[in-house]
Amino acid sequence: MPSSHAQEVQLQTIIGVPELESGDGKDSKDGQKAPTRRTVKGSVRWWILVAADMLMVLCGGTVATLLIRLYYNSGGNSKWMSTLTQSGGAPLLLIPLLLAPPPTSGPGSGEGEEERRQPVPAASRLVAVYLGIGILIGFDNLMYAYALQYLPVSTFSLVAATQLAFNAVTSWLINSQRFTALIANSVVVLTFAAALLGVGSSSDGTSSSSDLPRGKYAAGFVLTLAASATFALILSLLELAFVKVVRARTLRWVLTVQMHTNLVASAVSVLGLFAFGEWRTIPAEMAAFKDGRARYVLTLVGTAAAWQAALAGQVRLIARVSSLFANATGTVQLPLVPVFAVLLFGDKMTGIKAVAMLMAVWGFLSYVYQHYLDGQRAAAGKAAGAGAQFKCCVCAERTVDEASHA
């Protein structure tokens, strides 16, 4: 019968399942193979890698949003083209995929060893994941694009802020996410911070409903709500795919899953571009674009590349931590965009924007502090010789599954 302390640690925390990262795997001088370098959840190295992924999400998402704002400000008007940029940069992932070491590049070579020790996923299951999630991404991008046509920016921001709350529900139902007071506080504060931006946009002249088509307001509201729920579902399904199908968290698999799902989403966008006839307006749009065709192409290519950088960090966070953590990181990016818009586009800096940014930082730090507590409690439990299988409140289901296949 375990002690009450061991039971408490078991319900609250884990760092015990190591994550293989790059290591040399070379033989030592005495002829024995040097141990593979391992990254343990909650360790300093783990936090450094998570921080790098978070930086990619924040920087990539901010740059992509600002570039698409530049696209519209410079004369761009194609909703399907802006939708395509969200997934159309998938072929660029071939570059890091080719540079990543293959799984057969020497025994004990970190991530390659992790790929070899896991059974190869069935091709039929991978295809189902790529097609299912890819189609969802394509239609989710479509719903967001049309919702922006039908709603004022302020209302769109308010409704879109629900995606983190939806993700909390899908994480609980699909990924067995456990909640603490700190995580609940993070979800609530980040949601309010995003919603506050919507309130602020209606008071600083950045929102207008005068040009909205009549009778489209209700459709825009429903589309935004559906897109937010679908986005939450996509993140949770990606986490489930890494647990049940891929069973590996290496960089190669993250890029592979991201590239294939985004290629499917791009196919959906291209079909829409041709089905709705917007492809006919592209030459005229390029000709009328401010500073010419070259800037038009560079703006779209830069947007697509920035989205892929942000998505790479987000998918890596899903595989390394959880879908809810990845979504929380992306939500922090929302208040950053208005701040940079003040510097680049001359927008007004209001008190509401500043408060929203501070709330986002506070909410996210609550989530980060929960992970810190998890690490401290797990370390204390291991030092006390509890000997139990520790479970993390943020990734319990995945951890147990990984441990059984280690």
What pLDDT digit, counting tens, does each position of 349-392 carry?
677 767 777 787 787 788 778 877 877 777 777 777 644 444 45
Give residue-wise pLDDT tens across range 243-272: 999 988 888 899 999 999 999 999 999 998
Band (333; pLDDT cuts 50, 70, 90): confident
Residue-level pLDDT at 29: 42
- Extract the tokens encoding 97: 């995929």
> What are the residue ranges spanned by the domains of the chain?
49-100+121-203+214-378
Handedness of CA 62, 50, 198, 144 (dihedral sign): positive
Give the chain's length.
406
Q: How many helices (H) and strands (E) does the chain have?
A: 16, 2
Confidence of residue 108 (pLDDT cuts 50, 70, 90): very low
Greater confidence, 406 or 174? 174
Residue 356 tokens read as 């929203």
Q: What is the pLDDT confidence band of residue 112, given thresholds at 50, 70 and 90?
A: low
State which amino acid sits at residue 363.
G
pLDDT of residue 53: 93
User: Nearest to residue 146, comparing CAs of 202, 218, 200?
Assistant: 218
Of 83 and 346, the structure prediction assigns the larger pLDDT to 83
pLDDT(210) > 60: no
User: Is residue 167 within 8 Å of residue 228, measured between CB atoms?
Assistant: no
CB 300, CB 81: distance < 8 Å: yes
What digits encode the pLDDT tens for the residues 278-300? 889 999 999 999 888 999 999 99
- Spatial distance between the Cα atoms of 336 and 58, rounded to a whole number of angstroms: 8
What pLDDT is stored for residue 268 in this prediction? 92
Question: Cβ of 37: how many Cβ atoms within 10 Å?
Answer: 15
Query: Residue 22's closest CA among 49, 54, 41, 1?
Result: 49
Mean pLDDT across 153-171:
75
Quick one: average pLDDT of 313-336? Answer: 84
In angstroms, the CA 90 to CA 266 distance is: 8
Per-residue pLDDT reduced to its tens digit, 135-160: 999 999 888 877 766 776 556 666 77
pLDDT at 206: 47
- Reference 41, options 399, 313, 367, 363; nearest CA is 399
All residues at 6 or more sequence positions from 147 whose CB lies less than 8 Å from its CB, including other chains: 156, 220, 223, 224, 227
Output 388 or 343, whichever has higher pLDDT. 343
pLDDT of residue 212: 54
pLDDT of residue 40: 59
Q: Read off the pTM.
A: 0.73
What is the C-alpha to C-alpha distance for residues 163 and 336, in angstroms, rounded to an integer? 18
Distance separating alpha carbons of residues 218 and 223, to the nearest angstrom: 9
For residue 200, with 0-12 CB atoms within 10 Å meaning exposed, 13-18 middle and 19 or more buried, which class applies? buried
- What is the band of 94 on the pLDDT scale with cuts at 50, 70, 90? very high
